[in-house]
Structure 1
């Protein structure tokens, strides 16, 4: 009983004080939560408990849901064809680099999928700090498409890990294809319904809402699609991600809703997921032979390939903004941790590779944030002096 009291108290204190530490040392809150989780687990205040694990898994699904709310499907589909072509080239370069690096350093097949991952989670936090700059706008557009591709690979990788290569995998892919077809038809049907009867959208989510109908409907969509993934034996994160896309795509009049949903998630469920990840990273692992070297190699390789690939956009952005965009995609913290955890639990990667990926995600979140700040400050100085 006392262990559980210590667990609940520690989690509560980390959630409360992490933002203060993050503000003091000028870093994102997420790596602070992971580090605190690891430190307090080492000290014995955090331990593996069934409820802790369940809430952490729910926090991860909610994180994927919030990631989906960053993507307005209507706006994404209206992206100019020339820009779409460049984004496709950008992604192809990333995956080509990933395959080459994974083979050269003998990292394993799973790294071919892990290294090109893109997540808009931390990009969204950058936009709060730097505003709607051209490089961030392009970063969000390319990131949204890249994240959809990444979530697709996450789903297929999850199916491969769970079922292996064989008939069961083909069955999973077939189920996924049918589900995507159903979702496409559903999206089109809802789009037509709201176009013919715009009052339906405001009835479901009224402007003046004293019964929190917007939150209720959002949570309903979230759990329905997660339940559908559970029934189809597909990656639950994919359902959560699609549920998030529903919100900005069909309820554009509720512009404050994504932020409202994010406030709840980042204030409660999502920190528990990151604290749990931290608690699974044993500090003794830092002394494992070659761990830090491997983590630094992964960090450098993932950053380098994005910087090279981002040169595709150099005509749309100047060199400095192109580099900023490349760096902004070099922090796929949430998806990298999720995929690493999935691969480790499925015994597709070794313990040292799992720890290296967790450590690399922390290095990325910390160092890249500092680098972006330094480059942006340099850019501002250059503009002022010219």
Structure 2
């Protein structure tokens, strides 16, 4: 790379650092950073001051990899839920309504494409233009809906599913169209597409099997937490590049296979995928993705006849919004007209995929540079307007009362959590069926209702509102899920959090919209580090609580429940030989068991006097 390349690279890197601050400070975060990145590229590139050079192969490669990596991260957002739907409810299911919306979108897009081609003559394929306008953006839709817990769960589900189906379907169709256009229509090429689709889900199954294999786990565990190795990130990139190699070998579009590679990583175990996603997001949004958007702005060429391009952009923007709003009419089956229009506007948000589709069309000679520039402008405008208009139409209703924190389960953990929130002047109420525990909570001046958390008569007395937050801290996952269902169905509460007692039940938590509060493995790893590393142990004990371990001698044959009622500490894990055990109430302790427990520091001296 020559000096011009280094200079351009430095400018792009500097812009990618400055733009988020501009977005947050000047536009209050209402305009996405990516939109400003494209605008910065337009100003500094071929359409502006020519400061960023666009004729350097290394920069072109980095930009292309930024697009590939963006589609890879889009695949990470995909969540497939295997839920059975009865024939009677199928026509009201998210899958059916979302598919209907996509079919309508594709049909209307084709009619719009006929008008554009015959009027402006900037494309040789009406079908490909229809695919471009059928795209949406998971990157716009998902974050907008995830931040709106006040919306109905079914409404959010359908809009998310619609965005996902639009992205997956158009990706697949663009890939097939590209093969046909480039005369790569041999049976091997088409078979490879389906092989990769099958491989995506097969590899996922294999990874889940390996995750449960004790021998494999032992090998991975020995290196997975070493900072100088980052085996999970290496594995993610290995999968991505193997898929890219196969795509390149058989002439398949790289953006599709990178999306599939992302799906594979998204389907690893929940806890691990959260950590991996954070690391991969940091790599992508830290450099490669802003590089792509700035560079695309830089290579875009605004035509000399600016009046003509403004007319074209206005027609394309208005037409693209009109298509999605009309195509979203199936939402009226379940929701109001206002909800239907708002949903159509949100689905009009287009960003990464429409730019990718436009670039492929430019490469294939289907569209010209003028139209590609118009598409980039459409991406900027729609990514700003669609979530903003959606928020205006579906204005977030703020609660007229201060939201409560409802805690179900007032044992040791529930009591500590309630006390913590109470000290912070939060409105806390606890439901606990044990009378002694209720009395202890009352002595701490914490509002408590003594009874079963699944008893609707008790719940009605609390007068729960949809903006309240519910913490389910019983030691039984099934009970927590049952109570969560009551709060959601009876009181329309969606902010549900629960103690994660059994890792195998996480799938049920996810299906029921419950956020797990504790990952047992994560706790186990924290405790292991605390025991093995004195510095970490000291760090963990900087609060009012302390983590300690003791070897059992005199408590042999006692149950966890008996100990919990007698002592003031909370047992969090038990080590029996080489095996870690999660403490359930009916678990019998054995001689030489090592218990790991949390205790108030003020009670430590009393505990030291006791013989375990």
Give the shorter-chain TM-score range.
Answer: 0.7 to 0.9
Q: Decide whether aligned partners of structure 1 residues 130 and 93 sit closer, same or farther in structure 2, where only a CA change above 3 A counts.
A: same
1:205/1:213 contact within 8 Å kept: no
Aligned twin of 1:273: 292
The one of 166, 170, 176 equivalent to 2:193 is: 176
Structure 2 residue 117 is matched with structure 1 residue 110: no
Q: Please, what TM-score do these two structures have when normalized by structure 2? A: 0.57
Q: Give the 3-state SS of the residue equivalent to 2:397 in structure 1.
A: helix
1:201/1:251 contact within 8 Å kept: no
The one of 66, 78, 89 equivalent to 1:71 is: 78
Aligned twin of 1:99: 110
Aligned twin of 2:279: 260
Uncovered stretches (5+) of structure 2, i.e. residues with no partner: 119-125, 402-612
The residue correspondences of 1:37-56 to structure 2 (distance < 5 A) are 37-41=41-45, 42-48=48-54, 49-56=56-63
The one of 215, 221, 233 equivalent to 2:251 is: 233
CA offsets, 1:172-211, max 9 Å, x none? 32332343344454445555x3586477579658997234
Q: Which has the higher strand share?
A: 2
Q: Give the 3-state SS of the residue equivalent to 1:209 in structure 2.
A: coil
Higher normalized contact order (CA 8 Å, seq sep 6+, divided by chain length): 1
Find the structure with the greater CA-based Rg: 2
The residue correspondences of 1:1-386 to structure 2 (distance < 5 A) are 1-23=2-24, 24-25=26-27, 26-41=30-45, 42-48=48-54, 49-73=56-80, 75=81, 77-78=82-83, 80=85, 81=90, 82-106=93-117, 108-127=126-145, 129-131=147-149, 133=151, 134=153, 135-163=155-183, 168=185, 171-191=188-208, 193-194=209-210, 197=213, 200=216, 204=220, 209-211=225-227, 212-254=230-272, 255-282=274-301, 284-285=302-303, 287-377=305-395, 380=397
Q: Give the 3-state SS of the residue equivalent to 2:247 in structure 1.
A: helix
1:59/1:270 contact within 8 Å kept: yes
1:175/1:232 contact within 8 Å kept: yes
Deviation at 1:266, TM superposition (A): 1.0
Alpha-carbon distance in 2 for matches of 1:5, 1:301? 41
Q: Give the 3-state SS of the residue equivalent to 2:365 in structure 1.
A: coil
Q: Decide whether aligned partners of structure 1 residues 249 and 223 sit closer, same or farther in structure 2, where only a CA change above 3 A counts.
A: same
CA offsets, 1:47-104, max 9 Å, x none? 111111111111111000000000123x2x4374432122211111111111222223
Q: Decide whether aligned partners of structure 1 residues 206 and 37 sit closer, same or farther in structure 2, where only a CA change above 3 A counts.
A: farther
Q: Give the 3-state SS of the residue equivalent to 1:47 in structure 2.
A: coil
RMSD (CA atoms): 2.8
Deviation at 1:293, TM superposition (A): 1.7
CA offsets, 1:231-277, max 9 Å, x none? 22111111111110012213323223223322321111000000110
